[in-house]
Structure 1
Amino acid sequence: MQSALTFDIKRYAINDGPGIRVTIFLKGCPLNCRWCHNPESISPQVQKLFTRSKCIGCGECVKVCPTEACRLTAEGIITDKELCTLCGKCAEVCPTLAIEMSGQQQTVAELLEIIEKERPFFNQSGGGVTFSGGEPLLYPDFLCEILNACGERNIHRCIDTAGLVKTETLLEVAKRTDLFLFDLKHMNSDKHKEWTGVGNELILQNLYALAESGADIQIRIPLIEGVNADTENLTAMATYVANLPGKKKPVSLLPYHNIATGKDQKLGQIRDMSGMEEPSAEKINKTIKLFAQYDLVATVGG
């Protein structure tokens, strides 16, 4: 039975596809977007998070650590990353949850049990399960197995992807998926690489191939002033999306908000957040009108 590394499971989700859903977040992503609001999703490995404000200095983590990687200081708990094996014992004994582990290996059977418990909400609202990340398509064998199982149970299946995978992998998963939420971040490959660490050629190729296959697709655009909210790029996006094969794709605009600083602190990292700003209400409305000129319905969120 296949398994995958998850870092969160969100129940009663209403912005990750139709109806009320359970969203399963898989860990690991080939992109490194500067604005990512889930920085713990990027690494494909288990990570240790520390919230200094929650630490009461009890020292229980120091006592239990088998490699003596934890040290209590005036600044709180310091972890020697060279000694730490990420066993998670410190998190298990922390009374205030100041220490947390991000990443848990879970099998298809374990996740199906969680999904099944939400079925009454699916049935009432037309919801289902969404696999997000990180990048869920990094786990193709796991996805195919659990998507098949959900299909046998008549559970609506949705994939939230950035599209940077082998085309054959994407199309194989598409055979078992009812809806794709496909992220489109920038049309200029150099700019895309500047802000995400990778170019966009394969992403655009995959989006076209997915549309050509007849898959149901909703385009998601993180709208960020200073990154991709200029008229030139938005026009290029609208032109590209409008000319994808099949019916016109709905577009969801996701306005940027700098909400990940706290998570960066927990991870003990500093990110360069310069050059990015939240779009104004005026910019959002202008973007909606621009897409409408290409017969595309753009809405905020979703």
Structure 2
Amino acid sequence: MLDRQRTGIVFNVQKFSVHDGEGIRTLVFLKGCPLHCPWCSNPESQRREPERAYNSSRCLTAAVCGRCAKACPTGAVSVVNGMIRFDRAKCTGCNACVRACPSGAQTVYGETMSVDDILRRVEEDGVFYSRSGGGVTLSGGEALTQPEFALALLREARRRHIHTTIETCGHYPTEVLDEACRSLDALIFDVKCLDSERHKRFTGVGNELILKNINHVFEHLPDLPVLIRTPVIPGFNDTEEDILRIREMIPKRPNVRYEALTYHRLGQPKYGYLGRRYELEGVKADDAFMKRLNAMLKAYES
């Protein structure tokens, strides 16, 4: 099969991003992730299959609309006391309610797209990439949990002279990462914690494979531009010792950078749309600590 014909499951194609690689970029979010971080800002990315979601704040109400309940053949969407109710146990995934909903309250995260479909949308903004040094960034979830699709997408983007970057958690076979890096212009790699037991307790997996993979990049692809990122999560890795240990394991090279990210809850509402509980309810970032931490990291670089 030609790379441009390869298909995968994507839940968003976001244009005009300026925080996920150089310049102005288009982000392609692929479904599926081997980690299950409770702070994840894209919970709709974690499962590989498409997922139904319901956002009641966008609903026009049963009195005004009610089209979704009329369209549902199984009774998963119904009207109870004048309000729209969604019963996931009865849902078969036919998406009749999604097609009937005029406001986007009923939606589905995830659709099958081809490499050609995606890059056609990416190329619409080619003028912005050429002026800003931008391009396409694969994200998720974890893009490399769909390796054949992600690798085909990277290869075809390179053929079309589109700058390529990937945001990755690093937990998959080393040979997959190695092949991906051969088609990358830059790599964004998360290192969350060096304590494997704690890493497993919070994310569901240990960190041995992740550390093996980033060290493979440092050793075998020494010229690849790499940004190592650590989301600083209260109660997980929010000490100067945790962050400094990560920084010290990263080689000091002009093409390798490190960034500590402040915890945020921007993705919290989506847990409700998916019928899940946000486990870090009430947790807030310590702004004073982050200020001290960034000052420490700046001093480390000097």
- What's the TM-score, normalizing by structure 2? 0.91
| Residue from 8, 21, 27 that aligns with 1:23 | 27
Whether 2:240 is the aligned partner of 1:231: answer: yes
Q: Which of 143, 163, 170 is the matching residue for 1:136?
A: 143
Of the three residues 285, 289, 295, the one matched with 1:283 is 289
* Pair 1:52 & 2:60 matched: no
Per-residue Cα deviation, 1:108-166 (whole angstroms, up to 9, x for no partner): 11001101101111011110000000000111111221211111111100000000000
Q: Which deviates more from structure 2 when the two are superposed, residues 178-187 or residues 251-260?
A: 251-260
Shift of 1:247: 4.8
1:17, distance to aligned residue in structure 2 (A): 0.1
Contact 1:137 1:143 survives alignment (8 Å): yes
Does the CA contact (< 8 Å) of 2:226 and 2:255 recur in 1?
no
- 2:41·2:267 contact (CA, 8 Å) conserved in 1? yes
- The alpha carbon displacement at 1:274 in A equals 5.5
Residue 84 of structure 1: aligned partner? 91
Q: Secondary structure at the match of 1:182?
A: strand
| 1:126 and 2:159 correspond | no
Which ranges in structure 2 are unaligned for 5 or more consecutive residues? Answer: none
Secondary structure of the 1:82 match is helix
Q: How many residues align?
A: 293
| Correspondence 1:175-214 to 2 at 5 A | 175-214=182-221
| Distance apart, 1:224 and its partner CA | 2.2
TM-score, length basis structure 1: 0.91
In 2 relative to 1, CA 248–122 (structure 1 residues): closer, same or farther, beyond 3 Å? closer
Tell whether the 8 Å contact from 2:247 to 2:258 is kept in structure 1 after alignment. no
Change (3 A) 1:76 1:46: farther
Deviates more, 1:90-99 or 1:75-84: 75-84
CA-to-aligned-CA distance 1:71-113 (integer Å, 9 cap, x gap)? 2113733333333121222111112221111111111110011
CA distance in 2, matches of 1:19, 1:52: 36
Shift of 1:272: 1.6
Contact 2:32 2:146 survives alignment (8 Å): no
1:63 alignment partner, one of 70, 75, 88: 70
1-structure distance, mates of 2:82, 2:272: 13
- Alignment partner for residue 227 of structure 2, among 218, 227, 240? 218
1:40 and 2:44 correspond: yes
Q: Which runs of 5+ in 1 are unaligned?
A: 297-302
- The aligned residue for residue 240 of structure 1 is 249
The answer to whether structure 1 residue 7 and structure 2 residue 11 are counterparts is: yes
SS, match of residue 15 in structure 2: strand
Root-mean-square deviation (CA, aligned residues, Å) is: 1.8
> Is 1:97–2:104 an aligned residue pair?
yes
Match of residue 163, structure 1, among 170, 176, 179: 170
Q: Deviations over 1:15-55 (max 9, x none)?
A: 01000000011111110111111111111111111111222
Between 80-89 and 254-263, report the one with greater CA deviation.
80-89
Range with greater deviation from structure 2 (55-64 or 111-120): 55-64
Distance 1:75 1:21, change over 3 A: farther
Rounded to whole Å, the distance in 2 between the matches of 1:76 and 1:82 is 18
Letter in 1 for 2:144: L
Pairwise CA distance, 1:231: 1.9
The farther-off stretch of 18-27 and 75-84 is 75-84
Q: Write the letter of the residue equivalent to 2:108.
A: M
Q: % of aligned pairs identical?
A: 34
Aligned to 1:267: 274
Question: 1:259, 1:157 → 2: CA distance?
Answer: 26
- AA in 2 matched with 1:113: R
Q: Distance in 1 between matches of 2:300 and 2:126?
A: 38
TM-superposed deviation, 1:248: 5.9
Give the Cα–Cα distance (whole angstroms) in 1 for the partners of residues 27 and 286 of structure 2: 27
Give distance in 2, aligned partners of 1:218 and 1:277: 25
